[in-house]
A = this chain, B = another copy of it.
Amino acid sequence: MSLRHALLGLLSDRQASGYDLLKTFDTSLANVWPATQSQIYTELSKLADAGLISVAAEGPRGRKEYTLAPEGLAELRHWLTETAPQRNTRSDILLRVFFLGVLTPDQARDYLTGLADLSAREHADLAALADTIDWGEDGLSVHGRIALEYGLRFNAMRRDWAEWAAAQIT
């Protein structure tokens, strides 16, 4: 049910069309809550039907700019403050670690060093991204910066762990 709240959250910053939102999902939210085009348009329709958002303006090419309704903002705040975040930790990467025993030690080590490399690469990508953005003082910048810092720390942690783990394989 979080896709709905992700959309409400983005619309709380500024009004946008489905197309705009899709772009945002593919860039800044890609690593946090991926969503496809069909999902986004479907959910926008539902949100409009429910009265949580409304069409503020129509532009060329059938463009519909949605804006957050007061009820939508209330729902967003309710979600943030009243509902417990569920740690949705489904991780393909970590699942594989449990079963490395069916491989040869060499293969298992390869997997772990591959993970270390991947983490190092993602860390570098995020660091590069951080440089390109000029961080203003507005809300979304502050919190975007905080989320990005999470990504940096996470990848550094995972790189170190994967290197340590590879060394554990005898």
Chain A interface residues (CB < 8 Å from chain B): 2, 5-6, 9, 12-13, 28-29, 31-34, 73, 76-77, 79-81, 85-103, 107, 111, 118, 138-140, 142-147, 149-150, 153-154, 157-158, 160-161, 164-165, 168-169
A76 contact set on B, CB distance < 8 A: 99, 102
Q: Are A5 and B95 in contact (CB under 8 A)?
A: yes
In the complex, residue of chain B having the shortest beta-carbon distance to the beta carbon of A87: B93
Q: Are A161 and B143 in contact (CB under 8 A)?
A: no
Q: A12-B102, A80-B102 are in contact. List 16 more A-B contacts (CB 8 A).
A: A2-B95, A9-B95, A12-B99, A29-B95, A33-B91, A77-B102, A80-B96, A80-B100, A87-B93, A90-B90, A97-B147, A98-B144, A101-B139, A142-B168, A149-B161, A150-B161
In the complex, residue of chain B having the shortest beta-carbon distance to the beta carbon of A89: B31
Q: Are A107 and B81 in contact (CB under 8 A)?
A: yes
Q: Are A73 and B102 in contact (CB under 8 A)?
A: yes
Q: Are A81 and B103 in contact (CB under 8 A)?
A: yes
Q: Are A88 and B85 in contact (CB under 8 A)?
A: no
Q: Are B2 and A97 in contact (CB under 8 A)?
A: no
Q: Are A9 and B98 in contact (CB under 8 A)?
A: yes
A95 contact set on B, CB distance < 8 A: 2, 5-6, 9, 29, 32-33
